Amino acid sequence: KQWYQRRVRGKKGSYYHDDIWSMKYLPRFKWAHLTEKLAYDAAVRRKRLQTELSQVKRETSFFLEQVDKKKQITSIKRKREEKGQSVEAETSGEPSAKQRQLASTASKKEKTLPGSILSSVFTQ
């Protein structure tokens, strides 16, 4: 029996009395197919939520670690200031080693190879 495009019926005063069914018979379709799809979708959703939760936990723990680290640094800085020691190098967060400026490589090559040798090599 096909229900497609038939009235729902029921009592005349019912909310759904004049509504129409919109179901069609699907050959070779089993109820297991539908429940399998629903179970798969639920598992995917559960897995996605689990990964999002673990990501949020990682972010939260990282943030809390950074807050604790900042508290430690500020307390160390305050104690050193009270003692009158230098604070800037160790707690500033910047690397303490500075790079020196290098001379340009072009000027080095000119110093190592005199112009007379270069002109004799490249003349035609």
Q: What percent of the chain is modeled with pLDDT above 90?
A: 36
* The model's pTM: 0.42
Distance between CA atoms of residues 35 and 88, nearest Å: 65
Q: Are 20 and 7 in contact (CB under 8 A)?
A: yes
**Is 30 in a helix, a strand, or coil?**
coil
Reference 77, options 97, 94, 92, 65; nearest CA is 92
pLDDT of residue 83: 87
Q: What is the pLDDT of residues 49-88, one digit of tens each?
A: 999 999 999 999 999 999 999 999 999 999 988 888 765 5
